[in-house]
Chains A and B, each alone.
Chain A
Amino acid sequence: MDQIILQILNGLDKGSAYALIALGLTLIFGTLGVVNFAHGALFMLGAFCAVTLSRILTISHTVIDETKKDFLGNPLKVEVPYVNDWFGEATGQAIIDWSVPLSILFAIPVMIAIGVIMERGLIKHFYKRPHADQILVTFGLAIVLQEIVKYYYGANQIPTPAPEAFIGSFDFGALIGMDPGSIIYPYWRIVYFCFAMVLIGAVFAFLQFTTFGMVVRAGMADRETVGLLGINIDRRFTVMFGIAAAVAGLAGVMYTPINPPNYHMGMDFLVISFVVVVVGGMGSLPGAILAGLVLGILESFASMRQVIEVLPGINQVVIYLAAIIILLTRPRGLMGRKGVMED
């Protein structure tokens, strides 16, 4: 039982990452009709916003420590961050320690800006072009973004730990009245899940309860008519693109303590997030969330030792197997509408 709850938690956690990426992708892919292969790269850029902020916070001057030697036998140069000088050692270290949560504030404007620039500068010109052209241009863009990041940050993973207070794990089992020690779960993964839910809720609330959101939803349903009403739907779609980029970016920021980021992390999520969007149903935001969580949980269950022993290799194919079964039984995915991207 505890194993099952543990894997459900893992699945929700993994699934919330899938869901966040798929949410942004659905906003772009399911509504603007653009196949955005650069969406994984946006996730990666978000993660590197966190890396960048922690680099900025640790900009240092060097102090020579005569008691220690470096690898060439010279006196060791110790790096002292400027924030330590300005705020004192304790506060300075605390600021650096909290760099990942702080990056949320940093990433929102940066990612919205990147999204808007991308849409205005490039994607806008591809709304009317065939999907094949969109694939090529966004894939090219994804490669370029990746390579730029690699050029400045290298190919190796960069450790970006969570604040000290969130490192380690707690007894989740005791919390829900099970035997102590039966379900130990990391703090940060719970934080990630909650953060994802809040973010998803915020996007839905924005679309549901604001006039802006209402117009966008109307535009999704029938772009032409909304345009005829004299509403500038293009401008709103640009903003939507910015929001989608920010959602992907924030998913990346918060993901950094879970796995140290490298320039390639976006590509690892790209294929899976497309599968999630399609399984959820094209153009359906709740579908994307549902599919993300369901596939995440399935993947976690399939990775259990007891399951692998019966069906070797199932953990590697379960997501695709599920996608095939769902698409064959429900032609438009879990919650898809008729007529979206079927030609």
Chain B
Amino acid sequence: MLGLSKKDTSLLIAVAVLVALAPVLLNPFPENSALAQFNAGYPDLMQRFVIFGIFAIGFNILFGLTGYLSFGHAAFLGAGSYAGVWMLKLLTINVIPAILISTVVAGLFAILIGYISLRRSGIYFSILTLAFAQMSFALAASVLTPITGGETGLQTALNDPRILDGVNDSGNIPAPNLFGLEMGDSLQVNVAGWLWTFNAGYYVAGIIMLIAFYVAIRIFRSPFGIMLRAIKSNQQRLNYTGLNTRPYMLACFVISGMYAGLAGGLMVAMDPLAGAERMQWTASGEVVLMTILGGVGTLIGPVLGAGLIKYFENIFSKINSNLLHKWFSFLPDGLEDFVVTIIYPFIGKGWHLTLGLMFMGVIIFLPGGLVELGQRISRSFSKNKNDAAEQKPAE
């Protein structure tokens, strides 16, 4: 289907189903239950899942296929975000131009940085991209304040021109929308205690992520993708055969940058603010971590990694001692306090600690990232079935 192999088609369909049903699947606990704190099915976080998924997919096209570790990918996310907000301010509050232009601007930016950085490989390439991103961040946060809004970030304002839109006299800044469908609009369905929120913005972002995912599969399977893998395994040999790898690398770098820009554009389409810290090295590092955590070079891994990190950031940081006491109130008093004291350092303001431990745990026990976990589970499930098959005589 769509030029995909059977395995890839089923992967795409599986992802599509997961995206479509996420509002239900991510809210496994009834609204009023004690565990509702762990529900992730609210619009903001679901949007972040798919947007950072796009970012990580794009990063993985570069890192997973060619092995070039860019430590400055956040620059493209930031450039896309700024371009997107400017479109929302100047042109129209409709999100289509914002998303398109942010992708294009990030692509242009990637051509510039890629052209220079790709003159070097290995750690030298990483440092070059890092240097460019840090320069972008530093300038965006200070000297470029008129364009970027500085540390506060660039926002839409009441008196923006928005030349394609009519006169706005509501006294409120219009919300980003898709031909009238506001990104913040949601349909809430309450079934027997479960509350599901189907959000317009999430589905817009989700559909775009599916397209991005599809394109990524096609790139992975294309001759172009194979060429990139060849660069990863032995660039020198390719050069000796008389092949110039630079155009391929640059194309790959630019595609990857455009994914980041697309993610940036979607971010501002969901929430029209672009902050400079989106370009900082910590943001670049985050996408590296997402990809490694999920599984480098796998199709679905980066999306899983992105989801896990964002889940920790948004869910674990919100648990406080008050909630802990509620959860463990069934225990006798002394024991309750004891349990809460034990857990307390790992949640709320300690969520970084849990994140750090998780990074270490995953990489120590699952060298291939989360994808390896999935493979191990599926292997252990199918083990009984395959036992007979595996006992084939050795060849």
Contacts and interface: CB of A to CB of B under 8 A. Distances in A.
Q: Tell whether any CB of A sits under 8 Å from a CB of B in the complex.
A: yes
A342 interface: yes
Nearest to A332: B124
A332 B67 CA distance: 19
B79 interface: no
A258 B287 CA distance: 34
A316 B132 CA distance: 12
B101 to A, nearest CB: 25
B127 A140 contact: no
Nearest to B139: A313
B292 A140 contact: no
B352 A143 contact: yes
A147 B355 CA distance: 10
A187 interface: no
B214 interface: no
Interface stretch (A12-20, A127-135, A159-167, A200-208): A127-135
Given A151-B345, A324-B132, A144 B119 contact: no
A147 B364 contact: no
Contacts of B63: 132
Contact of A275 (B69, B131, B285): B131
B192 interface: no
A197 interface: no
Contacts of A140: 355-360, 363
B350 interface: yes
A129 B367 contact: yes
Contacts of B359: 136-137, 139-140, 143
B141 to A, nearest CB: 8
A331 B345 contact: no
Nearest to A317: B135
B289 interface: yes
A288 to B, nearest CB: 14
A323 B119 CA distance: 14
A341 B127 CA distance: 12
B124 A312 contact: no
Contact of B292 (A122, A125, A136, A327): A136
B294 to A, nearest CB: 11
Contacts of A142: 356
B193 interface: no
A133 B128 contact: no
B121 A132 contact: no
B374 interface: no
A313 B135 CA distance: 10
Contacts of B121: 342-343
Interface string B281-301: 100010011011100100000
B353 A271 contact: no
B363 A136 contact: yes
Interface string B125-138: 00110111011001
Interface string B332-376: 000000000000010000101101111110111001000000000
B69 A131 contact: yes
Interface in B113-151: 116, 119-124, 127-128, 130-132, 134-135, 138-139, 142-143
Contact of B288 (A135, A143, A271): A135
B320 to A, nearest CB: 16
Contacts of B360: 122, 137, 140-141, 144
Interface string A263-300: 00000000100110011001000000000000000000
Contact of A327 (B120, B281, B291, B345): B120
Interface in A317-341: 317, 320-321, 323-324, 327-328, 331-333, 341
Contact of B357 (A144, A151, A275): A144
Nearest to A315: B138
A73 to B, nearest CB: 29
B237 to A, nearest CB: 12
Contacts of A191: none
B119 A141 contact: no
Given A313-B139, A320-B135, A132 B352 contact: no
Contacts of A146: 352, 356
Contacts of B116: 324, 328
**A131, A320, A323: most-surrounded residue (chain B CB, <10 A):** A320
A332 B127 CA distance: 12
A143 B312 CA distance: 14
Contacts of A341: 122-123
Interface string B61-87: 001000101000000000000000000
A135 B292 contact: yes
A151 B348 CA distance: 12
Given A275-B131, A328-B119, A342-B121, A144 B138 contact: no
24 contacts: A122-B360, A130-B296, A132-B292, A132-B296, A135-B292, A136-B289, A137-B360, A140-B356, A144-B353, A151-B350, A271-B130, A271-B134, A278-B127, A313-B138, A317-B135, A317-B138, A320-B131, A320-B138, A321-B135, A323-B131, A324-B116, A324-B131, A327-B120, A333-B124
Interface of A: 122, 125, 129-133, 135-137, 139-144, 146-148, 151, 271, 274-275, 278-279, 282, 312-313, 316-317, 320-321, 323-324, 327-328, 331-333, 341-343
